[in-house]
Amino acid sequence: MENGEGLQVLRYQKGGEYRPHFDYFGDSVGGRKHLEVGGQRVGTCVMYLSDVQAGGGTSFPSVGMEVKPKKGGAVFFADVDEQGDVDKLTLHAGVPVIAGVKFIATKWVRERPYRRES
Ligand SMILES: O=C(O)CCC(=O)C(=O)O
Ligand SMILES: [Fe+2]
């Protein structure tokens, strides 16, 4: 995947969750540092590596949507709009796992390559 960050793998057990957040970088000191290197995060792909017995969806509260985790499934969304501006509708969360274990792998796509060629 072009300009992809390294894959981030997460494992949630019962009660595990990811509070509502944006994946794009904000205008903080830390955010600006990230932006300098590879530009904005323009896309997010969450791949579900396990089925979850209950709970554990990925919710998008601003648009009233929730994706149910299904092994082998994935959800992709653009973190910016057509103008390249951050899209606040991408607020999302990993809702608490009620039963079972949730495994995901997340890939973020950046505007530019951000690793130096060595
Ligand atoms: O756990 C989820 O469903 C969402 C994960 C997520 O938002 C992320 O990895 O950035
Ligand atoms: Fe996220």
Torsion angles phi and psi, residue 35, rounded to 5: -60, -35
Quote the pLDDT of residue 1: 80
From the CA of 59, how far away is ligand 2's center (Å)?
10
Q: In this structure, is residue 116 part of a structural domain?
A: no
Structural domain that includes position 50 = 8-110
Q: Any idea how long the chain is?
A: 118
pLDDT digits (tens, 9 = 90+) for 6-60: 899 999 999 999 999 999 999 999 999 999 999 999 999 999 999 999 999 999 9
pLDDT digits (tens, 9 = 90+) for 59-110: 999 999 999 999 999 999 999 999 999 999 999 999 999 999 999 999 999 9
pLDDT digits (tens, 9 = 90+) for 85-94: 999 999 999 9
| pTM reported for the whole predicted model | 0.94
Q: In this structure, is residue 57 part of a structural domain?
A: yes
Residue 116 has pLDDT above 80, yes or no: no
Distances, alpha carbon 28 to alpha carbons 25, 34, 35, 48, in Å? 8, 10, 10, 30
Q: Ligand 1 site: residues with CB under 6 angstroms?
A: 18, 23, 46, 58, 92, 94, 104, 106
- Could you give the CA distance from residue 112 to residue 4 in angstroms, rounded to a whole number? 9
Question: How many domains would you assign to the chain?
Answer: 1
Quote the pLDDT of residue 118: 43
Ion ligand 2: residues, CB < 5 A: 23
- Could you give the CA distance from residue 100 to residue 15 in angstroms, rounded to a whole number? 10
Structure tokens at 104: 């995901």
CATH, residue 39:
2.60.120.620
